[in-house]
């Protein structure tokens, strides 16, 4: 009975498959009863483009980015650095532990009986391990010079570049500068018809200007992204390097390093170098080295074999609100000179401690990073005008730029500045305790013998930006000139006239550094 019922169900299923209303195909279900429209009888899409008029109003802007990409992409290459390591190994890694020469036959050691054949010393073999990276570069001359990043080619034993037309050529490092993350490489293979980037003027860029980034993110060659200049003069990792980055929101990702950042005219205005990211990918913040800085480094490397930087011999600091109020600067912008090194360029030009440098070589400086980069870009022995604000007046001095010598700078930073009678004071008004410099205090706080001033022995208020062991050598109250301090009596006399709410400025010596600091007097 079960068998006959099963046969009847199978017959019904077969009947449905053969005569049913549905036919199964490989791509879907189509009703057999529906008739299909004739080919071409269905019209797809609207009759008119509702935005056609708006597109016409854009004029040449419609094709602008495509036109720029068409010209710029061929000038950007893939830089393929290869690091080659040599590995030395033996086919029998246990020989050194159980070899006949050191421990005898392992079979005899473990099993008490020798092998039939003695163990042979394994052959030593060498094998190369090749590690490849990928970055970008920009062709800047028909001779085959290419601008890229120091971190792209650093440590590379071999370098290849892949052109936009598919050619793969050998290159070598001409030179590099880790302080700016700039490197110059050159194609060594014979090559002709190289596309060359047009170098623009990065000093003319403004926040909000359109920019286009071209590079090879994640090995995706000839990638183009657009955005704007988000900010200028960025310093993202402190003062140990020369940084003046262009910040952009054009998408930059790993592999873009060394690629081109161009303006709306297709001019190279930056070399893409890094991103800010919490995940390792694009987050809307990318940085590029201004082409003016990269060009100067490149020319030094090509023509002299090393990067030569200007130096004027000053210690500098930014101007905060307290210092601005205490010095009565108003809207004056610039950089405060905290110290001048005797016998160096600034000293010879007449620049003094407490001056505000406003411009150098005709270019404004708004902060320490600005001045540092402006000076570094100047050629040694060049005579330049320097505008300073001093005593309520603006004066112009002529300065001959010196040459940055790291050894000399290190030696000068170790020199300091003197023995004065023993005395001490604690000022509730100023918020700290101080003492005259004695031999014992000099030894305790490692103060140089020739340094003059008053040493901070305690800090009574959290509002005071001083530390125990600081030496203060000058003091200024609003509307008054700086007072040189050599003992606590001078400090006490100077502080008598200070009123609550006024700002006071001190010249501080701390750990080999000299700087100004200011704060308001509290109740």
Q: What is the pLDDT of residues 69-98, one digit of tens each?
A: 999 999 999 999 998 766 665 555 555 555
Check the CA dihedral 341-346-347-350 and report its sign.
negative
Q: With 80 as the cut, is the pLDDT of residue 403 above it?
A: yes
Q: Are 212 and 275 in contact (CB under 8 A)?
A: no
**507-516 pLDDT, tens per residue?**
999 888 888 8
Q: Do domains 71-87+125-304 and 310-414 have the same CATH topology?
A: no
- Closest of 236, 300, 310 to residue 273, by C-alpha: 236
**380-391 pLDDT, tens per residue?**
999 999 999 998
Which token pair is 225? 């992204």
Q: How many Cβ atoms are within 10 Å of 99's Cβ, its own excluded?
A: 18
Complete DSSP assignment for 231-262: EEEE--S-SSS---EEEE-S---TT-TT-EEE
**263-289 pLDDT, tens per residue?**
999 999 999 998 887 776 778 899 999
Please state, in angstroms and as integers, the Cα–Cα distance from residue 229 to each residue in 181, 237, 243, 411, 522, following that order: 20, 20, 16, 40, 43
CA–CA gap between residue 43 and residue 45 (Å, rounded):
7
Q: How many Cβ atoms are within 10 Å of 512's Cβ, its own excluded?
A: 12
Q: Are 194 and 144 in contact (CB under 8 A)?
A: yes
| Cα radius of gyration rounded to whole Å, the chain | 36
**364-382 pLDDT, tens per residue?**
998 888 898 999 999 899 9
Beta-bridged to residue 445, according to DSSP, are none
DSSP state of 178: T
**296-329 pLDDT, tens per residue?**
999 999 999 988 899 998 888 888 888 888 888 8
Residue ranges per structural domain of the chain: 71-87+125-304, 310-414, 424-520
**115-173 pLDDT, tens per residue?**
555 555 666 666 666 777 889 999 999 999 999 999 999 888 899 999 998 999 999 99
CA–CA gap between residue 508 and residue 385 (Å, rounded):
29
**176-204 pLDDT, tens per residue?**
988 899 999 999 998 888 999 999 999 99
DSSP state of 199: B
Is 0.75 topped by the overall pTM? no
Whose tokens are 């070589």? That residue is: 361
Question: Hey, which residues are catalytic here?
Answer: 151, 181, 257
Q: Are 460 and 428 in contact (CB under 8 A)?
A: yes
Asked: is 424-520 a CATH 3.30.70.330 domain? The reply is: no
What topology is assigned to 310-414 in CATH? Pdz3 Domain (2.30.42)
For residue 294, the model assigns a pLDDT of: 95
CATH of 71-87+125-304 among 3.40.50.2300, 2.40.110.10, 2.40.10.120, 3.40.50.720 = 2.40.10.120
- Closest of 486, 472, 419, 483 to residue 448, by C-alpha: 419
DSSP state of 416: -
Higher-pLDDT residue of 56 and 401 is 401
- Closest of 150, 258, 135, 247 to residue 197, by C-alpha: 258
- ∠ CA 216-219-220, rounded to 5°: 65
- Closest of 399, 383, 136 to residue 268, by C-alpha: 136
């Amino acid at each position: 009975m079960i068998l006959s019922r099963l046969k009847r169900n199978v017959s019904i299923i077969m009947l449905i498959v053969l005569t049913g209303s549905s036919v199964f195909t490989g791509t879907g279900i189509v009703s057999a009863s529906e008739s299909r429209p004739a080919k071409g009888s269905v019209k797809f899409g609207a009759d008119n483009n509702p935005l056609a008029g708006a597109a016409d109003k854009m004029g040449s802007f419609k094709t602008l980015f495509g036109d720029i990409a068409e010209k710029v992409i061929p000038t950007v290459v893939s830089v393929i650095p290869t690091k080659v390591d040599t590995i030395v190994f033996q086919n029998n890694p246990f020989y050194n532990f159980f070899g006949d020469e050191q421990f005898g036959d392992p079979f005899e050691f473990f099993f008490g009986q020798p092998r039939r054949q003695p163990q042979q010393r394994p052959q030593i073999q060498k094998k190369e391990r090749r590690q490849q990276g990928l970055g970008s570069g920009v062709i800047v001359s028909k001779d085959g010079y290419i601008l890229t990043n120091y971190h792209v080619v650093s440590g590379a034993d071999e370098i290849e570049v892949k052109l936009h037309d598919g050619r793969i050529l050998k290159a070598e490092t001409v030179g590099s500068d880790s302080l700016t993350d700039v490197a110059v490489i050159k194609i060594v293979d014979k090559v002709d018809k190289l596309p060359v980037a047009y170098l623009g003027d990065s000093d003319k860029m403004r926040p909000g200007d359109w920019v286009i980034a071209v590079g090879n993110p994640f090995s995706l060659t000839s990638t183009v992204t657009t955005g704007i200049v988000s900010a200028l003069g960025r310093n993202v990792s402190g003062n140990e390097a020369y940084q003046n980055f262009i910040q952009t929101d054009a998408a930059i990702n790993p592999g873009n390093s060394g690629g081109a950042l161009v303006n709306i005219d297709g001019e190279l205005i930056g070399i893409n170098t890094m991103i800010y990211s919490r995940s390792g990918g694009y987050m809307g913040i990318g940085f590029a080295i201004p082409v003016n800085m990269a060009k100067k480094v490149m020319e030094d490397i090509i023509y002299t074999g090393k990067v030569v930087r200007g130096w004027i011999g000053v210690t500098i600091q930014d101007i905060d609100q307290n210092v601005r109020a205490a010095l009565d600067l108003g809207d004056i912008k610039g950089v405060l000179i905290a110290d001048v090194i005797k016998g160096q360029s600034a000293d010879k030009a007449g620049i003094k401690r407490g001056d505000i440098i406003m411009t150098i070589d005709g270019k404004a400086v708004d902060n320490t990073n600005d001045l540092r980069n402006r000076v570094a870009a100047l050629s040694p022995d060049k005579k330049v005008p320097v505008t300073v604000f001093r005593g309520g007046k603006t004066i112009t001095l002529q300065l001959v730029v010196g040459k940055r010598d790291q050894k000399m700078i290190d030696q000068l930073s170790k020199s300091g500045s003197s023995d004065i009678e023993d005395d001490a004071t604690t000022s509730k008004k100023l918020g700290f305790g101080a003492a005259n410099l004695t031999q014992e205090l000099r030894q305790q706080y490692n103060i140089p013998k020739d340094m003059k001033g008053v040493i901070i022995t305690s800090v009574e208020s959290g509002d005071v930006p001083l530390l125990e062991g600081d030496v203060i050598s000058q003091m200024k109250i609003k509307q008054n000139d700086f007072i040189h301090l050599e003992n606590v009596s001078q400090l006490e006399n100077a502080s008598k006239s200070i009123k609550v709410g006024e700002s006071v400025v001190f010249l501080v010596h701390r750990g080999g550094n000299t700087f100004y600091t200011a704060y308001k007097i509290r109740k």
